[in-house]
Amino acid sequence: MSDDEADPELLALLRQHLQGRLTLSEEPETGVLEGAEYVYDNAIDVALDMRATKNAAAFIYDQMQQKQYSTETWAEHELHPKTKDESTVAFIFVMDLLNFSFWSLRPEGERFAVSYRDKTWTGYWSLVASLQRAFTNCIKAANSSAAALVNLLAQDFSCFRDEFQFEGRRKPIRFLKRAQILVADIWGCFNGEGYGAFRDIDKITMFADYRVPQILATLGCIGYSPPLQALISRKEAIESGTKYEMQLRACSIWCVELIRREIRRHHPETKVNAILIDFFLYDTMKLMEAEGKETMPHHRTRSIWY
């Protein structure tokens, strides 16, 4: 074969790849980040401010270093389990099966609350307190892959199958918020060891709900079209699976991914990933709410997905 002739084997491999019949990697992928990027590229109601995103990355990294934010932070809360055995995995599985839709239109004093250990707990913590007061086979089947476990959960449990069609795309956009946070909670609880030892934990994205988009907007990283901004400001409901809601969630995922990349670019040795960034941003937003420092409301979507 001369230098001017194409390699027939290479051509055959390329043809298979283009036709979708060749998988170049056998490692599982959740598809969440790919879908989020597609929605971001086609979004008209949500946009990212790249300069603000880079500034936020520096701010977030600095704050996480000062507060020594890591997987151990998850277990430090008094309501999260301290033991690290099979029963803990079962506890986390049940917790994340029930973990959705904790925002309320009622005043603080009228919201659902649970008394436990001489304290009153609301929102997500009321669920954890209830469980404290009163399923490891998937992990083994996932073979230490976070992405595989997410896919198994979405496949076997319809309440974890958080995906919707978005205009112009044949494949559904996958968010898989609750499946991903279950994996992240196990990883955090076990500090990346034992049941929490996942070789590809960095494939887990930010958990697309309503608090992280709120703080990303507060930091100036994302902005909204006037109609969407008006809906959020008036605290009007945005239906699950609509174009507005999907753009809010997908662009938040992509924004946190860009923050993660920016942090890694400047600090290649760091172990900061999308999970830790999400945990940090969520905790920061809840603290701002408790201190009365919210400058804009979060979007209102009532669903089982978050």
Judge whether 209 counts as a catalytic residue: yes
d(C-alpha 172, C-alpha 9), whole Å? 33
255: nearest Cα among 288, 300, 227, 219: 219
Can you read off the two tokens belonging to residue 233? 């400001």
Here the tokens at position 166 are 């978005």
Q: Which residue out of 96, 209, 278, 283 is catalytically annotated?
A: 209
The residues annotated with a catalytic role in the active site are 209
